[in-house]
Amino acid sequence: MQYRFAPMEGLTDAVCRAAHRRFWPGAGSADRYYAPFVSPTKDHIVDPRRLRDILPENERNCGVPLVPQVLCKNAGDFLWMAGELAAMGYREVNLNLGCPSGTVVAKGKGAGFLRTPVLLDHFFEQVFAAAPPIAISVKTRLGIADPEEFGPLLEIFDRYPIAELIIHPRVQKDLYKNEPRMEVFGRALANTRLPVCYNGSLNTAGQIAAFARAYPAVQAVMLGRGLIANPGLVRQARTGVPTDRPTLRAYMDALYEEYAAAFGSRKNAVRRMNGFWNYSLCLFDGHEALEKRLRRADEPWEYEAVVGQIFAQLPLRQDASGVK
């Protein structure tokens, strides 16, 4: 099984990707990491902060096989961005058709693009007629409101040389609630010629093993919230070795220090780290007693004190089955 580290806005940036590779090398690393999306403007401008995150030196410096993700609905904008990425040396670009955010969907981007299959088909027709020398993969949901929307969408995907189809089997209206629609995923798997990667609610090594038994034809899974919650999940899935307290502590401390340096402020680093702890707290039994204090921690000394208590007092669980 191959493992992909999903793009998560505000979390899986260059600092996180490099630290994860450093503290969980070899069998503990993902086979591929995805950067949070860039969204080119009609004037072919990219947010400088987003651009810095995907500079090739980030990939070279930490040895991370990185795939930039693009969010747009205009073929010309996508082709320009893909060409820029190819010139940087990237071998793959991923089209985001999965973001369920209301503001993104309202613009017809992300999962919102699935609402207009005719326009999506025309987009792919234009893109693949003039694509630069770079593989194009797609991350998608099943549709907007009804999972049966995916049948016609899959017919569109199958008409084009998509390098990999990453399927998150929820509709946009599900957001990250409700269970993944596995029956629809199974039908899609049986009716596509494309290489398929699965994404959605695989948060423990046991869940990954059960998925592999149920869908042996799927050779890759993308892990998001589960891998943020338990950064040792890939190693545990491959080797059975659970996450240990010293490595987890060193990883979280390194993230904190590196964000403080990157932001020039420990207070800003605390805000970023609370995003990671929002998921990782579920690795600790009895975390409810400290959860409110951690969320309210605004000053660095408060954050550092609560984190110290978490690691000193709370038993570490074997998995992140309670991830939100």
The pLDDT tens digits for 276-322 are 999 999 999 999 989 999 999 989 999 999 999 999 999 999 998 88
Give me the amino acid identity at 302: E
Phi and psi, residue 163, nearest 5°: -70, -35
Q: Which residues pair with 316 in a beta bridge?
A: 284
What is the rounded average pLDDT of the residues 104-117?
Answer: 97
Rounded to an integer, what distance in angstroms lies between the CA atom of residue 197 and that of residue 100? 19
Task: Give me the pLDDT at residue 321, please.
Answer: 86
The residue-averaged pLDDT of 99-123 equals 97
- Using only the alpha carbons of the chain, give its radius of gyration: 20
45: confidence class by pLDDT, cuts 50, 70, 90 = confident
Longest dimension (CA), the chain: 59
How far, in Å, are 63, 179, 319 from residue 21 at the CA level?
8, 30, 20
Contact 117, 153 (CB under 8 A): yes
Secondary structure letter of residue 218 according to DSSP: -
Once rounded to an integer, what is the mean pLDDT over residues 87-109?
A: 95
CA separation (Å) from 23 to 16, 205, 225, 248? 11, 19, 18, 8
The rounded distance, in Å, linking the Cα atoms of 208 and 1 is 10
Residues 99-120 have a mean pLDDT of 96
pLDDT at 63 over 70: no
Q: Which two structure tokens, joined as six digits, stand for 12?
A: 């899986």
User: Residue 64 has what pLDDT?
Assistant: 62
Which pLDDT does position 43 carry in this prediction?
A: 85
Which band of pLDDT confidence, cut at 50, 70 and 90, is reported for residue 239?
A: very high
Residue 80 has pLDDT above 80, yes or no: yes
Write down the pLDDT at residue 246: 97
Kindly tell me if the per-residue pLDDT of 175 is higher than 70: yes
When pLDDT is cut at 50, 70 and 90, the band that residue 61 belongs to is low
Residue 269 pLDDT more than 90? Answer: yes
What pLDDT does 42 receive?
A: 85
Does residue 154 carry a pLDDT above 80?
yes
Contact 101, 58 (CB under 8 A): no
Amino acid (1-letter code) at residue 51: L
The whole-number average pLDDT for the span 52-63 is 73
Distance CA 104, CA 128 (A): 24
pLDDT, residue 125, reads 98
Which pair of tokens denotes residue 88? Answer: 């940087």
**Which of 219, 230, 142, 237 shows the shortest CA–CA distance to 187?**
142
Amino acid 59: pLDDT: 60
224 and 194 Cβ atoms separated by less than 8 Å: no
Give me the pLDDT at residue 50, please.
87
- What's at 91, amino acid-wise? R
pLDDT band at 49 (very low <50, low <70, confident <90, very high): confident
Confidence band for 60, pLDDT divided at 50, 70 and 90: low
CA distances from 304 to 243, 256, 269 (A): 21, 10, 11
- For 1-17, what is the mean pLDDT? 96
Query: How confident is the model over 54-64, as a mean pLDDT?
Result: 68
- What pLDDT does 23 receive? 97
Out of 36-50, 239-253, 282-296, which region has the weakest mean confidence (pLDDT)? 36-50
Q: Give the residue-averaged pLDDT of 206-227.
A: 97
Averaged pLDDT score across all residues of the chain: 95
Q: Would you state the torsion angle of the CA atoms of residues 255, 256, 259, 265, taken in this order, to the nearest 10 degrees?
A: 180
Q: Cα dist. 49→45, 46, 52, 55, 262 in Å?
A: 12, 8, 5, 10, 12
Please tell me the total number of residues recorded for the chain in this structure. 324
Q: Report the candidate in 220, 239, 236, 214 with the shortest Cα–Cα distance to residue 283.
A: 236
The residues, any chain, with a CB within 8 Å of residue 128's CB and separated by 6 or more, are 136, 160, 161
Q: Global pTM? A: 0.95
